Chain A
């Protein structure tokens, strides 16, 4: 009856100037469970909620190490993310082989940006149905990048993508000024609090469904920089962090003083 004639492929504009296939791909990102990333002056962290398809199954991984210095968090089609992740791993390895250094994070992100954009411009191709947060450290310090299926990439101070990620973004926006000077542990706790904001009513962070990834570049007093390689923490390794944000009141930290008051 009212069929949309302009969403059959990603090379056709609608009369309103939209490319529906690309917009649908952006919807796929919103179906994925939420991931949060924050960068400070010294660290870049990724935190994620893992989902299990059913009670008896394992949890789907959300964080992937790419190279010594970079990792990604995914929201959307995991299989598309694997393609991008393999590509990024190869590029990083190739760069290390030819130049003997870590690939600059911006260069890496621009590469997948170009790769994804090509898919939005060729008949018979489809955009990747996955959004990424790319966190890493290079000679210029820690970085956090957002990647969208449209091929758009952008450097972020903090960001969240995935289902109900608006709640997490609201938390991040309220606390944005604090992130730059946070130490490693504080930054992770901010990430977990943002994650909690976007949880549905009766769910909470557990060791089973929470992943944390950290990369860091801490400047020593003698001017040298100590690099902490990207590492993913799961299961018992995240227990302490979950407990440290467990006793926060609902939405605490979000608004100091403007939070809901308990009845006297």
Chain B
């Protein structure tokens, strides 16, 4: 018995002579992305009483090389939601293009229709557009579908905005299509380093509902600093977005302020040891 799968179901060599192997495909099975290449590190976000704050640094790493230092990893959607991408940057770019198409379709559908609900507030977004909860549901289906094709989009994504009851909304979806939600969320290293800090301020939904915007921004900035100190794939330039009922305020070139590396002296165990 020939145990090589290539030989199965083919004429026996000892009877019919050697099989012309040029008919066989030598490349093996099709393989999709097996690991991310150019990556973004943590995205962090926390809810507060009238919205959500999200932040991510502007670095795209190529392995341990800080390859691109001006990559924007937060993007607004329909100026009512914000999507933050951790993980593979090319997959992020694919998703960004896809979301652009979705946003254009949505804007067209709701452009001409006379909006009955915006009478009282002319600045309100057109009623019926995809909100953050709808967008998160859609992205989760997309990610899960790609996982089932064994061709995952190698990202963990945070979606921030509002749900259909106009309450602040924050949820995550990863490359397997796993979804979860919490008053504060962080991807990648942030899940270890920033999440415990954010939980001190918003452990429960009730806590988050008491948090002011200023407090939330302060917590997020503090977390970005901790991440820059301890995450070796991070950068001190970052983007921060605040989603409220009035829309999305996105600042894409923030600089970490008041850094103190005094603690570094006491760290032992890395690099050249003088003692």
Q: Which residues of chain B are near A138, meaning CB under 8 Å?
A: 128
Is B116 close to A, CB under 8 A?
A: yes
- How many whole Å from A245's CB to the nearest CB in chain B? 28
Is A16 close to B, CB under 8 A?
A: no
Closest B residue to A99 by beta carbon equals B134
Residue among A41, A100, A140, A224 making CB contact with B128, cutoff 8 Å: A140
- How many whole Å from B90's CB to the nearest CB in chain A? 24
Closest B residue to A106 by beta carbon equals B113
| Interface bits A83-125 vs B (CB < 8 Å: 1, else 0) | 0000000000000011111001011000000000000000000
Is A23 close to B, CB under 8 A?
A: no
With A41-B116, A141-B116, A141-B117 already in contact, the answer to whether A99 and B109 are too (CB < 8 A) is no
User: Is B138 within 8 A of A98, CB to CB?
Assistant: yes
Q: Which residues of chain B are near A140, meaning CB under 8 Å?
A: 110, 113, 115-117, 126-128
User: Is A101 within 8 A of B164, CB to CB?
Assistant: yes
Chain A interface residue number, banded: 10 to 19
- How many whole Å from A146's CB to the nearest CB in chain B? 16
Closest B residue to A97 by beta carbon equals B141
- How many whole Å from B58's CB to the nearest CB in chain A? 31
Is A181 close to B, CB under 8 A?
A: no
Closest B residue to A107 by beta carbon equals B109
A-B residue pair count with CB separations less than 8 angstroms = 39
Q: Is the interface of B mostly helix, strand, loop or mixed?
A: loop
- How many whole Å from A160's CB to the nearest CB in chain B? 23
Q: Which residues of chain B are near A183, meaning CB under 8 Å?
A: none
User: Is B134 within 8 A of A100, CB to CB?
Assistant: yes
User: Is A139 within 8 A of B127, CB to CB?
Assistant: yes
Residue among A99, A106, A141, A224 making CB contact with B137, cutoff 8 Å: A99
- How many whole Å from B205's CB to the nearest CB in chain A? 19
In angstroms, Cα B137 to Cα A41, docked, is 30
Residue among A99, A101, A106, A139 making CB contact with B117, cutoff 8 Å: A139
| Interface bits B91-115 vs A (CB < 8 Å: 1, else 0) | 0000000000000000001100101
- Sample of 19 A–B contacts (CB below 8 Å): A98-B137, A99-B134, A99-B137, A100-B133, A100-B134, A100-B137, A101-B164, A104-B128, A107-B109, A138-B128, A139-B117, A139-B127, A140-B110, A140-B116, A140-B126, A140-B128, A141-B116, A141-B127, A225-B117
Q: Which 4 A-B pairs have the closest CB atoms?
A: A139-B128, A100-B137, A141-B116, A99-B134
